[in-house]
Amino acid sequence: MVAHSIGVIAIQAGAGSRVIGSDPELAHSSLQAIEATSRDTLRGLRQLLDLLRQADPEREPSLEPTPFAGLADLDRLVSTAADAGVRVEVRHRGEPRPLPTAVDQSAFRILQESVTNVVRHAATRHCRATVDYRPRELLVEVVDGGHGGAVTAGSGYGLRGMRERVALLDGSFTAGPRPEGGFRVAVRLPLPLASTAPTAPTFPTAEAR
């Protein structure tokens, strides 16, 4: 996540530097995208550090809810991609409903990683992201019509990370070039019979300790 966020920042910085003299408004948009991506990355790093510190028995656990990004943040992802020059068409199928935290967060990160790969490697200005809510599973797909030659199904830390996320949730993951051109990432994440709303981690109160 951090590596790909830095990649987006680098793309935005390059775009802004090229147009700062001829199109200040576009350069300003690039700077805004850099700020938003940087803040999101910092939140992720702070979350990771908090989880690591919780392993310290001498440290009091934080009672603040741990922030996370989920499918509710898709609009922000679409906006960031648009600032980088890629229009993301989002399609929803089925009835959207609250999901378990792990599924919600993993689905969003997979979409984020896939869209970032499109921005960095596909050499296209459009991709399609589909989120399909089914009774026992959530299907996520990202398809583009670009070149896709720089990324193959078995290479890259991004694809490996997605595959590992899905494996932890007992799902299935496929990624690779399409016969008609472009690249496709498809994920199936199993769901319990009754999905519950995302909840933040809870910690024992002072009285309980």
Strand arrangement, sheet containing 126-133 = 87-93, 126-133, 137-144, 183-190, 172-177
Sorting pLDDT into bands at 50, 70 and 90, what band is 120? confident
Burial class of residue 81, CB neighbours in 10 A (0-12, 13-18, 19+): buried
- How far apart CA 115 and CA 109 sit, in angstroms, is 10
Q: Which residue has the higher pLDDT, 68 or 156?
A: 68
CATH number of the domain at 119, please. 3.30.565.10
Residues 106 and 84 in one domain: yes
**Residue pair 145/184 in contact by the 8 Å Cβ criterion:** no
Please tell me what DSSP assigns to residue 174: E
Q: How many CB atoms lie within 10 A of CB 96?
A: 11
Which of 149, 78, 162, 154 lies closest to 120, judged by CA?
149
Residues 125 and 156 in one domain: yes
Is 29 part of any domain? yes
Q: Which residue has the higher pLDDT, 45 or 87?
A: 87
Structural domain total, the chain: 2
pLDDT at 103 over 80: yes
Sorting pLDDT into bands at 50, 70 and 90, what band is 183? very high
Q: What is 59-117 written as a DSSP string?
A: SPPP-SPPP---GGGHHHHHHHHHHTT-EEEEEEES------HHHHHHHHHHHHHHHHH
Is 86 part of any domain? yes
- How far apart CA 110 and CA 141 sit, in angstroms, is 9
pLDDT at 173 over 90: yes
Convert the pLDDT of each residue in 38-66 to its tens digit: 887 777 777 677 666 655 555 444 434 44
Domain range for 162: 68-199
Please tell me what DSSP assigns to residue 122: I
Residues 95 and 158 in one domain: yes
| Model pTM above 0.85 | no
Is 116 part of any domain? yes
Residues 47 and 116 in one domain: no
- How far apart CA 169 and CA 105 sit, in angstroms, is 11
- Give percent of the chain with pLDDT exceeding 70: 76
